[in-house]
Amino acid sequence: MAKINIVLHEPEIPQNTGNIARTCAATGAALHLIRPLGFAIDDRKLKRAGLDYWHKLDITYYDGLSDFCEKHPNAKIYYFSTKAPRAYTEVKYEDEVYLMFGKETRGLPEELLAAHKESCVRIPMRDGLRSLNLSNSAAIAVYEVLRQREFEGLREDGELTTRRWEDEA
């Protein structure tokens, strides 16, 4: 199964990063955090949002965007931004992918977006709204990749805790 990587460029809100960490743990995606971060890694709010999934995470830290780029020179990166020219659903996510998101207050740097126009994607929304929540955006993106891959490696059926589905027919 090709790996999914979520990259957060200078995230500022610990609860968002915690929620994204939980999504990574649930889907098998790796989490990449590019410093500076707007919080301490041991932040109570960060840990609470990620609940008890921290030990299940594949997480890597970088000392800035250049450090990330040096360590992943051939990575196929999709840059998620409200400023992007096309929808995230127009992409066929093959092989190992990196889904990069910017900081909550400003998004990704425009010079980065302009240098990678063909890899910039957006989540459509109504006019007049600034953006979706970062953790919601990351979840939408990851699940689109997984949907295209037919949810490979994930459990698709659920179980009742006090009953059986067969008894409910």
Evaluate if residue 64 carries a pLDDT over 70: yes
Mean local confidence (pLDDT), 88-95? 96
CATH of domain 4-168: 3.40.1280.10
Give residue-wise pLDDT tens across range 13-34. 988 998 999 999 999 999 999 9
Say if CB 28 and CB 5 are below 8 A apart.
Answer: no
CA distance 55 to 21: 11
- The pLDDT value recorded for residue 14 is 87
- 18 contacts: CB under 8 Å, gap ≥ 6: 45, 46, 47, 48, 49, 50
Least confident stretch, 4-8, 49-53, 141-145, 156-160: 49-53
Return the structure tokens found at 19: 């929620």
Q: How many angstroms from the chain centroid is the CA of residue 84?
A: 17
